[in-house]
Amino acid sequence: MTNSVLPIVGVSACLYKADTPKPYHAVDDKYLRAVAVSSRIMPVIVPALGDLLDIPKLVSRLDGIMLTGSASNVHPDRYNTPPSPEAEPYDPMRDQTTFALIKEALKQEIPILAICRGFQELNVALGGSLYPQVSDIPGRMDHSSPDTKDMEIDYGPNHSISIAEHGCLFNILKSNETKVNSLHYQAINQLGEGLIADAVAKDGTVEAISMPEQQSFVLGVQWHPEYRANDNNTSKAIFKAFGDAVREREREFS
């Protein structure tokens, strides 16, 4: 790279122990490491502070946004569905932060990579909805984690997805199919405005989304490409494409 100053990507954090005297904001190492190593850009953590953040100014100083996965889910109020035990746990401060980030990033044409919960946030922020438990839907398989406590098994390839030729993911992978891990129990019901399904599982579950009418890079994936991203060709290609989009955006505004 000719420029020694790396582009900066904001990485969404979660708020943990919000109801205790010592709440904290955190992001799993694997997300930050994937951005730094596989995208070759600089990650900075965006705390889940909601209205305390000046989102338009923050986004104007970033070159990209990555929305991470989480143990928490988007609150059902966000997609006009009654809260239920199967949709828990929630992180309302993260919702408040990431929904504002998404809308402002789209407005300012900032590249977005959205993973798992982030994928669902992107959909709901644009007016879409979710299934609280995809395995409760007739004909759908169980997409949740094997939960063996062995990362190589839990994050290992689980099922194939079919990739549509008109989408962003096909342009990245140049393939109609790939195999992905599966660690989610919620899934997209109705797509948000402007989004298309880039990939689906064999049971019809949407696995990737993009926004063809948006000039900037926008890709959401339901699985976890961040785990050991450089060891998986699909993951490596996704993070490289995101990094390339971020660098292009940074060059345009530098």
Percent over 90 (pLDDT), the chain:
90
Active site residue 226: yes
What share of the chain in percent tops pLDDT 70?
A: 98
- Domain residue spans in the chain? 8-253
Give the sign of the dihedral formed by CA 242, CA 248, CA 251, CA 254.
Answer: negative
DSSP one-letter string for 4-31: SS--EEEEE-EEESTTSSS-EEE--HHH
- What is the chain's mean pLDDT, rounded? 95
pLDDT of amino acid 1: 40
**pLDDT tens column, 104-156:** 999 999 999 999 999 999 999 999 999 998 888 899 998 989 989 999 999 99
Strands 112-115, 64-67: pairing is parallel
Q: How much is the pLDDT for 2?
A: 45
Average pLDDT over residues 17-29: 96
DSSP 151-167: HHHHTS--EEEEE-TTS
Active site residue 14: no
Query: Does residue 224 carry a catalytic annotation?
Result: yes
49 burial type by CB count under 10 A (0-12 exposed, 13-18 middle, 19+ buried): middle
The whole-model pTM stands at 0.95
Residue 254: pLDDT band by 50, 70, 90 thresholds?
confident
More confident residue, 85 or 28: 28
User: CA-based diameter of the chain, in Å?
Assistant: 54
CA 5 to chain centre: 25
Residue in 116, 121, 184, 250 annotated catalytic: 116
Q: Which of 104, 121, 207, 226 is catalytic?
A: 226
Residue with the bigger pLDDT between 136 and 246: it is 246
Rounded mean pLDDT of 72-91? Answer: 93
CATH architecture of the domain covering 8-253 = 3-Layer(aba) Sandwich (3.40)
- Taking only the tens place, the pLDDT of each residue in 193-205 is 999 999 999 999 9
pLDDT digits (tens, 9 = 90+) for 186-241: 999 999 999 999 999 999 999 999 999 999 999 999 999 999 999 999 999 999 99
pLDDT of residue 136: 87
- Per annotation, catalytic residue among 75, 121, 224, 250: 224
